[in-house]
Amino acid sequence: MPTSLLAKIDQMEDEAVELHAKLVSIPAIGPANNGTGEKDKADFLTAYLKEKGFGEVKSYNAPDDRVECGYRPNLLTVIPGQDSSRTLWIISHMDVVPLGDLSLWKTDPFTMVREGDALYGRGVEDNHQGLVSSVIAARALLDAGVTPGINLGLIFVSDEETGSEYGLEYLLKEHEDLFRKNDLFLVPDFGSPDSTLVEIAEKSLIWLKVTVEGSQCHASTPEQGVNSLVPAAAMIMEIPELKFQFDAEDELFTPPYSTFEPTKKEANVDNVNTLPGKDVFYIDCRVLPSYDISEVIEQVKGMAQYVAEEYGVTTKVESVNKHQAAPPTPADSEIVEKVLFAIKEVYNIEAKPGGIGGGTVAAHLRERGYQTVVWGTQLGQAHQPNETGSVKNTLGDAKVMALLPF
């Protein structure tokens, strides 16, 4: 592959920033997070790719009656390679998370702002950076008239932030004929600021919903009811004990142990002088693969039963999202070796395989036996206010991607 191809990517800085800005301006929040879905962003990307010389852009629509159009789009386009029997797939996601506390943002989250190398806006890192890098890499190939060694396929999925049922999981269930077992997969949805982490393994994921029910009454006569907030708080305080029950460590991961964190809390009552009769909170669990997640769920249910008996309430523990970790991608597999080589070529550093606690769509691929790496050069700004991306990282990662299908 001519070195001029990588130089060409450097010349595409303005186009990369422009694409970043357009993607930020199109909110794509899923219905589970009270959004309208990804259709508008998918429509823009389809038109953009066709305008820039990509061939057929297909949309595989997962039915979802929670959004106005009735479906969640998943886009796919392929640049044919010299060997058309296999494909390097780069998979990024179109959806973003909600804004959180708007007062913490210094700029309009849906209007991208550039300050030097930094880009600010919802989604600039998670996952627009990987998406833009993949598009710029593919455009460089097309514009230079370079045919990759194997097919280069780009996939832009919906619903990554809330489980992937309408995204990659839908494609794998309904359209797995798109993929071959000797295909290679890169998911640019997690990484380290120094480019060194090549993710080959993920922890198991469990999101638990805990409901505590007592009896609502006026706060001035608490003896007439049962305050649900107190036992809910008591159980929340017990959650850290799980790390002592599941205390194994694995140095492949950072952090090397399982984590159990109370997170979201639903509103209970609207006024101060009412004793709440129902409280709902959630627990985010990232569990080392050596544990069966059913063991964790049973342990939490046991905690809930103890709280119910101690405080005279009823409790219920439900799994709203769970995924047993898939076997890791072998550290000596072809995709890992290709990514390590390309990182060395572009960034002149020695990267190494590792594991993470965050869940990505790679889990759905690994459990079906596909060679998959998660990698990107990222600042660690996902889901934060003032989410920050990098122009330099966008272009550098595009160079790495351009090397992979050869």
To which residue do tokens 């057929």 refer? Answer: 56
| The pLDDT of residue 5 | 87
The model carries a pTM of 0.83
Locate 94 and state its tokens: 């179109």
Q: Is 369 left (phi over 0), alpha (psi -120 to 50) or beta?
A: left
Closest CA to 133 of 95, 92, 105, 162: 92
Q: Across the beta sheet with 278-287, what order do the strands follow?
A: 259-265, 278-287, 204-213, 314-323
- Residue 197 and residue 81 share a domain: yes
Secondary structure of residue 172 in the 3-state scheme = helix
Of 267, 297, 323, the position where a domain reaches its end is: 323
Which string of b and e fits 90-121 if b means at least 16 CB within 10 Å? bbbbbbbbeeeeeeebeeebeebeeeeebbbb
Distance (Å, whole) CA 373 – CA 375:
6
| The pLDDT of residue 83 | 97
Res. 347 pLDDT band, cuts 50 70 90: very high
Of 275, 300, 323, the position where a domain reaches its end is: 323
To which residue do tokens 């039963």 refer? Answer: 305
- Residue 118 and residue 58 share a domain: yes
Strands 197-202 and 113-115: unpaired
Which CATH number is 245's domain given? 3.30.70.360
- Residue 195 and residue 235 share a domain: no
Instruction: Provide the CA 361 distance to its chain's centre, in angstroms.
Output: 7
pLDDT digits (tens, 9 = 90+) for 202-251: 999 999 999 999 999 999 999 999 999 999 999 999 999 999 999 999 99
- Residue 197 and residue 254 share a domain: no
Q: Which of the residues are catalytic?
A: 95, 160
- Amino acid (1-letter code) at residue 204: S
SS3 letters across 3-22: CHHHHHHHCCHHHHHHHHHH
Res. 4 pLDDT band, cuts 50 70 90: confident
CB 164 within 8 A of CB 157: yes
pLDDT digits (tens, 9 = 90+) for 253-298: 989 999 999 999 999 999 999 999 999 999 999 999 999 999 999 9
| The pLDDT of residue 359 | 76
- Residue 341 and residue 282 share a domain: no
Distance (Å, whole) CA 205 – CA 210:
16
- Residue 319 and residue 248 share a domain: yes
Of 271, 303, 323, the position where a domain reaches its end is: 323
- Amino acid (1-letter code) at residue 361: V
Please tell me the least confidently modeled range out of 11-15, 24-28, 250-254, 279-283. 250-254
DSSP summary character for residue 378 = -
- Residue 236 and residue 385 share a domain: no
Distance (Å, whole) CA 91 – CA 88:
10
pLDDT digits (tens, 9 = 90+) for 141-171: 999 999 999 999 999 999 999 989 999 999 9
| Full residue range of the structural domain in which residue 79 is found | 4-202+325-403
Count of domains observed in the chain: 2
